[in-house]
Amino acid sequence: MKYSSFVLIFLSTFSVCSCQQPAKKAAASDIKVGGNCEGCEAIYESPIAFDQLKEVDTLPDFTEDGPKLEVNGIIYKADGKTPAPGVVLYIYHTDQKGKYSKKGDEKGWGKRHGYIRGWVKTDQNGFYKFYTLVPASYPNSNNPKHIHPTIKEPGLTEYWIDEFLFEDDPLLPEAEKEKRQPVGGNGVLKTEMKDGMLKATRNIILGLNVRDYPKK
């Protein structure tokens, strides 16, 4: 079967999620960065404790019908050169109808973000990867399709970076393609069809254009 290996990735991810302890809340000693970040605390709703997260995750929609997508990249420290290990990235997005669909048993921010969400933690080389479907734009809107990301790095509170967007999206404004101060780095994905799915890379720089980020 063409996607059998990816189905196994999904199944192994789900089986782990069902038995591990959930992530803890932010530490009182974490430095506040990023300003107002409504919904960012959803990152702590990971069904797997942060110290057990892997660098690869498969979102629950991947086995459904739709354009399959693989996104990978390196998360760098603020110098833009040194790989950052142990950084948690939370992502969520709409379904193929442009809605944050639910299964009915969601709790916390899952009631708003829906069931299509996932968590990864960078490995020693700063690497991360996730599998999902390309989301749809909101119904009857001019909003480009996008994937919401939240970052949690050791010692700092969780914060937003710019959304994952798609270069070939006709709804994507030119201003987004040429954004002068992207938060976390350029989030516009250039996808390429390979091995039966779309693949793209996004590298992230911690703290880049993030409000109140500590200078070293």
Tell me, letter by letter, the H, E, C secondary structure of the chain. Answer: CCCHHHHHHHHHHHHHHCCCCCCCCCCCCCECCCCCCCCHHHHHHCCCCHHHCCCEEECCCCCCCCCEEEEEEEEECCCCCCECCCCEEEEEECCCCCCCCCCCCCCCCHHHHCCCEEEEECCCCCEEEEEEECCCCCCCCCCCCCEEEEEECCCECCEECCCEEECCCCCCCHHHHCCCCCCCCCCEECCEEECCEEEEECCEECCCCCCCCCCC
**214 found inside a domain:** no
**157 found inside a domain:** yes
Each residue of 125-183: pLDDT tens digit? 999 999 999 999 999 999 999 999 999 999 999 999 999 999 999 999 999 998 999 99
**210 found inside a domain:** no
Each residue of 4-34: pLDDT tens digit? 444 444 444 444 444 445 666 778 899 999 9
Sign of the C-alpha dihedral, residues 76, 81, 131, 66? positive
Each residue of 26-83: pLDDT tens digit? 788 999 999 999 999 999 999 999 999 999 999 999 999 999 999 999 999 999 999 9
Query: Tokens in use for 194?
Result: 């390979």
**Model confidence, pTM:** 0.89
CATH number of the domain that residue 26 is part of: 2.60.130.10
Centre a 10 Å sphere on the Cβ of residue 24 and count the other Cβ atoms it contains: 11
pLDDT band at 190 (very low <50, low <70, confident <90, very high): very high
pLDDT band at 1 (very low <50, low <70, confident <90, very high): very low
**135 found inside a domain:** yes
Sign of the C-alpha dihedral, residues 175, 176, 177, 178? positive
**211 found inside a domain:** no
**Considering its fold, how many domains does the chain have in total?**
1
* CB neighbour list of residue 28: distance below 8 Å, 6 or more residues apart: none
Task: Give residue 72's pLDDT.
Answer: 98
Residue 26's domain spans which residues?
4-205
Asked if residue 2 has pLDDT above 90, the reply is no
**104 found inside a domain:** yes
Task: Give residue 148's pLDDT.
Answer: 98
